[in-house]
Structure 1
């Protein structure tokens, strides 16, 4: 994939989407001061170029499910093949080749108790390519309301306030809304394919009335079961040094450290886990120098971190649902040398839809 050249308007649109992924193009246009047609054209161009994709995400804990993180240590040269295989599982997200290409990381978002971490790990128990496999249950995810996917604000405070969504009052929601029914799954799948699908498109996918679809989506969002976010290609937005941080933190400081990390702009994800370490975070930095600065300044100031392992992310094979495929073994094809933009190919399963 070629590196995208994003101008100021593109970056403003990305931040606007991050604040309210399902807002109408008209609302974005009114806030950003450009025409609705320009916003729509820029958005579709970024989707077509695999820069971003808006997706729906289920909160597994709200529906009494568990999320897991897995680490697969692989033989040299085999991680890309393993990652591509793992990415095909519909309940798996954030499949990444890390640690110099010797390890695969993946998150398992259990949805219907069909699968779990142990079943996925069983697929590789006899594999010659995987030499070690570990699973970590995500006990608690810390919310980050200040994360900036571009590393800085491209909107004014007034524009941010106009687009920022009010937090859902989960405590006041009828618990029956958090129960997913069989009839909900066509809606969930459609929003997983395109989080900006219109209510008319969702009505066609579910065979429900448009008003019924709108009400059900609003109920699931208000109940905290369903949320929307933007899958972003790190290279395209200039984040050239993403990394996973595996930390052992003193139990007495675990909540404090987790909440502090969640207040950092560079951290899109942080969770307390089971396993040999108890805190996992992802950090997005422009380059290795910025990553070093983050580790030696912001992270070094935190009390309670007993051990830290930094695992650089080499390739993201699958985001939450947006899939890319890396050349599993470039040497298989000796007929030509790979060019500077080869090695990443968009999967045919990536289906672009217009909003």
Structure 2
């Protein structure tokens, strides 16, 4: 489990993923060396990662939530293959290990090759459904409440960076910068200059412009289990259309949820629940969720394993890039 300094550091990084350790230390009331040491320990022992991600709308990306079912002996291999692809995020094994859920990213003008070609040609997949993500109420720039419950309002004000309302579109020239930030959101200006071929001053100016316009945001990845949430589930809901916005906005305030989004399909709202244990999940479903008007149906799919969060992953040593492709049917 994490102590108060660890939780404060995670909360601070959600507010400003590139905040200097000295600034975080001042807000937390500890030394800079303590913050740096805690950050290194959390990276090494808890899988902490800070990643820079584009706002999907500014980047011209369409996002689909794909649900696949496969035979038990192939589902994990398929999920790992999906996780290694650069056009996926949030890859999870659910429902007894036979269901795979993944977010698929594609430019609005693309042909969606993963959905239209690669997945249908994979023999071991027994069913596929794809749900277009219409609107995200919780997730992306807005963090799970379990990650952001450590700092006071005054501390949060000290760490929250200022933004402007001036639009700042993401262009093709930003691809290398975004790729580097997706691997490490705290990469130095020198490291980002090496990845982009730009000068450090150009990197600093472009990064500042994108951040000020909220064209990019910084996410913090760490196991929810370390914050006391050992039970996870995906909730697929059918909401009365006239109540969809009200219900989704209410759910976005629930501390048990880390993701809430409106989708297309037979269910029009999906959420990701993180609870202390199965009893806490049952209490949430029957008391808090069950008391809301407008929820017509609810399907609960337990999450057994998360193979990929928002950021890219590095294929294990010895596995060539070609293994990242799904295996077609013969």
- Tell me the secondary structure at the aligned position of residue 196 of structure 1: coil
Deviations 1:18-39 (A, max 9, x none): 2222111011100011111111
Deviation at 1:46, TM superposition (A): 1.1
200-209 vs 152-161, which deviates more?
152-161
Shift of 1:235: 3.1
Partners of 1:51 and 1:149 in 2: CA distance = 17
**Contact 2:143-2:258 at 8 Å conserved across structures:** no
CA distance in structure 1 between the partners assigned to 2:107 and 2:44 by the alignment? 29
| Deviation by residue 1:96-151 (Cα, 9 ceiling, x = unmatched) | 000111100000122585563x534532323332100110110111146573234x
Contact 1:241/1:291, CA 8 A, preserved across alignment: yes
CA deviations on 1:145-204 (whole Å, 9 max, x unpaired) are 573234x723333323322345x44xx414xx31412x2111111101101112222122
Q: Which residue does 2:146 correspond to in 1?
A: 149
Distance 1:209 1:322, change over 3 A: closer
**Structure 2 gaps, min length 5:** 319-330
**Which residue of the other structure, out of 169, 179, 186, is the alignment partner of 1:178?**
169
* Equivalences for residues 164-243 of structure 1 within 5 A: 164-166=160-162, 168-169=163-164, 172-174=165-167, 177-181=168-172, 183-243=173-233
CA distance, structure 2, for counterparts of residue 324 and residue 206 of structure 1 = 19
Secondary structure of the equivalent of 1:268? strand
Q: In the TM superposition, what is the alpha-carbon distance from 1:63 to its structure 2 partner?
A: 2.9
Q: Could you tell me whether the CA contact under 8 Å between 1:16 and 1:28 is conserved in 2?
A: yes
Alignment match, 1:49 = 45
Structure 1 residues not aligned, in runs of 5+ = 326-346, 350-355
Q: Secondary structure in 2 aligned to 1:55?
A: strand
> In 1, distance between residues paired with 2:203 and 2:71?
47
TM value normalised by structure 1: 0.82
User: 1:53, 1:194 within 8 Å by CA — same for their partners in 2?
Assistant: yes
Tell me the residue number matched to 1:281.
271
**What is the aligned-residue RMSD (CA, Å)?**
2.3
Q: 1:329 aligns to what?
A: none
1:211 deviates by 2.1
Question: Deviation of residue 16 (structure 1)?
Answer: 1.8
Across the two proteins, how many residue pairs are aligned to each other? 316
